[in-house]
Each structure stands twice: as C-alpha cells, then as structure tokens.
Structure 1
C-alpha cells in the first residue's frame, strides 16, 4: 500500500506545474515570434530580454508601458509575454519618425502589432491616466530627459515633472524598470549632451524624490571594460556599453 501511495504521489508531482509557472511569461516563445524582425532578434544577445524582464517582475495579465519605445523592441516582446489578458501601451515622442521613410517604418510597426496601443506624445510633455500601469520599462532613454536638441526639436525637459507623472500613472505596488548607459558624476545635462550617459545616482535620486522605492538593482547588463568617457554611439562600444538595471516600485500605501 505504501509503495502504491508513493507511486501516486510521484505521478501527481510529475504533472503538477511549479507554483509560479502560471505567472511566468513564456519568453522563449515571445522572442521566437515570427512577427519580430531579424534586426530586433539580433539585439537579444546584448539586451538579454528574458533575464531583464524576469528580474523586473513582468507577469502575464499586467497592464504595461514601454516609454520612448523607439523600434518597438520591448513592446513587441511584452505584448506576447503579458498575453491576451494583459495590455501594452507603447509611447513614442512626436519629434521622432517625422520624415517620410521614417513614417513608413513607424506605420509598418503599428500594423504589425495591432494588439499594442501606440501613443505619440510631445517629448517634453509626457502624460498618462492615473493608476494605468502595473509595469513600465524605459530602456536606454531616461537620460534623454536631460537632453536638449534644436536639430530634433527637443526643448529643455523637466525630468522631475516626468517622473512625477509616471508615479501617478503607476498603480500602487507597480514596477518601473530602468536600463541606461552608465555615466560619471558631474553636470548631468552636459554629460548627456556629450556622451548620452547618465550617473546612476541621478536616476536613483530622481525616482526617490517622486516617491518610488528602489527595490533591487542587477549587474546583468554591466560591462566593466566600458570606457565611461566614450560616446555610446562610438563604434568601439556601441551595443556593449556598461548599463545599470534598476527595479523601482510604487509603495502600496
């Protein structure tokens, strides 16, 4: 009888999924989605999307945002990861994708992923409804809030106002993930203008001032051989910069 009971228990354990299986996205399927363009898949090795999103705590069913989505890289992966019960809103500034060929690229992206809500907004005036998101990612773009460019019609932006708006748009207990290029201490706007890098301490201070709590940080995307004095677009380091990965959370109370 005891042997029979053990066999039954073994059979039960074999067919019972891990406790967190239902809440873990299928990142392999998301990354292998044939709708993803080859140029996006080519970035997977350096961006480590499965590990990054797992660290940040993305779950199926979440209402999510990808701010300054660019090529839509994260929005497309997240759209598959959160599933039909979830939602992805991808935000892109009006100042980008303005030329005819760029507009075609944008239209192709939007048509490829109709399940994503694509939103254009003035770079300097981000807005979103209160308590909209369980999860937000800003990938290698937060530093641009300290950037000003006449060429791209980017006026001086107030990072504090942006993070305050993001805090209001985040649901209590919600997560914001920040990935960015490590920069040195000093004049933040000057460093961003010259190198497109940012001191991690500045990001921590900005989010703390708005009320977010830094819950965890990861060395997943670190590169100790990166020369922080180089422009991130320098061919010798592009795609291989030293990047910090922060998980902020909005307190529930």
Structure 2
C-alpha cells in the first residue's frame, strides 16, 4: 500500500541530543515490533485479525506516535477491537483509560443506548476475566459532550476511531472536541480516524449516512483549540464510492443491506477513512 503523509510544521522545544535521539529511535522500533505482535495475538479472534487489513492498527498507532509509557484515553472502544492492542501495549509502563458508553440505570428507552450500554458492560467483564492480558485499564464514561469524571490535562494521547460522525449527527461534535481538548495535557496528541465523505469541491462534499467531510472535521477540531500537525492516507480506500442506499453501513463489517449486493460490498471492503493527527498547543492562544 502506498502511504502518503502530509505534515504541518509547528514550533516545539527540542530537548534531544544525538545520543538521546538514537535511543528514542530504538525504542520506536521496539514499540513497532510489539504492536505487530499484539495485532496478531492469539487473544484476538480470527475475525478481528482479518480486519487488520482495513484498519491498519500498527501503522495507524505508529503514525499517532504512541509510546508504551503514555497515558492514553480511548473513546468508545465498543467491543474492544483496538483495546485488544492498546491495553497490553500500555499495561506495564503506561495507563489506558476507556471512555465507555453510559451505563444503563434502567431508564434507557432508545435501542441504540441500550445496545451500546450492554456492549460496554460486556467489555468491562472481559477486562476482568482476562486481566493477565489486558492489565487494569481505568473506566470512565462519555455521554457527549461530557466525560464523567473529567480531569483536565490528564492524558498524553486521546484516540477516537469512527465516532465523530455520531457526535455530528447528534449536534455534539464541537462540544465533545472541546471536552477532549480539556483532558489532554499541553503538547498531547489527538488521533482521529473517521469515515471520509466524497469531496465535490473546495466548499462542498457529499456526506451520506456515516460519512463526514474531512475539511469540516479539521475546522471543528481547530476551533476547539487543536492544531493539525499531520494527515495520512494509511486508511484510505479508493474503491469506496460512498453512494450506497444505507451509506457507510452498507459496507463491511455492518453489511446493512443483508444479502443485497453483498459480494459487491465485500469486494469494496471497509470504508475510505481519513486519519488525522492533532496536538494541544503547549500554550493556549491569547484571546
């Protein structure tokens, strides 16, 4: 796969001597090897491993610059596809925190909230059952736009995979990004992967169900205070035409159209995705 990375230059203090740079390079190589091993770990289902070809977890996490001694917040981990890699990677030197869906206190009425609360509860149970593998990730809740509890300047990195379109549909995108900005340490990284809408021109796009315009998402993050430092085509899929009856959900893994054109959708694969790396500036801009 050809990978294109576009970067923006930002001014940050440089503290590394040549010797320390060499040690960081070695550490990065070791981290990459560990990520590769975890992406194919026997604790992961065969189906989850098969999806590596679309989600590219090793390349994506390396692009975001993850290190094993970081404090990382994963937003809405769902069934734990990325958690299976992140938790063991961080358990010895760092700390993983999972921002789960809100627990169902018996008052939920809509099926989506009930379903995702059940998914979150099952993942929490699995973390306990397989503690030797996962370590002890901390658990918080994200009920957009707020995290419970929310502690400012806490994390080195926040990761969100294919969640922004949901926040946007519910009218919570900007406010949720503001919450994520607050919990990041100055200099911390926000890594985002999101289904990418078809771009029609510099000022318009076609965003059917589940897709989000890349420029729009970047602008929302920048308005929340983040600085975009790099974009990548790691998770691009040019075969995704983005014009399906049920939008992105027609593609795998959801296959919302059932058997209708199933082989065609399987041949396309998972969606075309933007991969964006932001930082929280070391000093907030003067208003």
- Give the TM-score of the pair, scaled to structure 2: 0.70
- Please report the RMSD computed on the Cα atoms of aligned residues, expressed in angstroms: 2.4
Q: Can you give the 5+ residue segments of structure 2 that lack an aligned partner in the other structure?
A: 1-21, 103-112, 201-205, 256-264
- Structure 2: how far apart are the matches of 1:58 and 1:244? 18
**Residues in 1 aligned to 2:99 and 2:45: alpha-carbon distance in whole angstroms:** 20
Residues 1:84 and 2:92 are matched in the alignment: yes
1:131 corresponds to which residue? 153
Q: CA deviation at 1:19?
A: 4.6
Change (3 A) 1:239 1:82: farther
Where 1:217 maps in the other structure, the secondary structure is: strand
Name the structure, 1 or 2, with higher relative contact order (CA <8 Å, separation 6+): 2
Q: Any stretches of 5+ residues in structure 1 without a counterpart?
A: 1-16, 148-155
Deviations 1:44-95 (A, max 9, x none): 1111100000011101100001101111111221122234120111112122
Between the aligned partners of 1:182 and 1:103, the Cα distance in structure 2 is 26
SS at match of 2:139: strand
Partner of 2:79: 71
Query: Are 2:137 and 1:116 equivalent residues in the alignment?
Result: yes
Counterpart mapping for 1:190-205 below 5 A: 194-205=208-219
- Which is greater in Rg? 1
Asked if structure 1 preserves the Cα contact closer than 8 Å seen for 2:144 and 2:176, the reply is: no
Q: How many residues align?
A: 222
Q: Secondary structure at the match of 1:164?
A: helix
Cα distance change, pair 136–239 in 1 and its aligned pair in 2 (3 A): farther
Partners of 1:109 and 1:38 lie apart in 2 by: 17
Counterparts of residues 40-189 of structure 1 (less than 5 Å) = 40-94=48-102, 95=113, 96-98=115-117, 102=119, 105-111=122-128, 112=130, 113-127=134-148, 128-147=150-169, 156-184=170-198
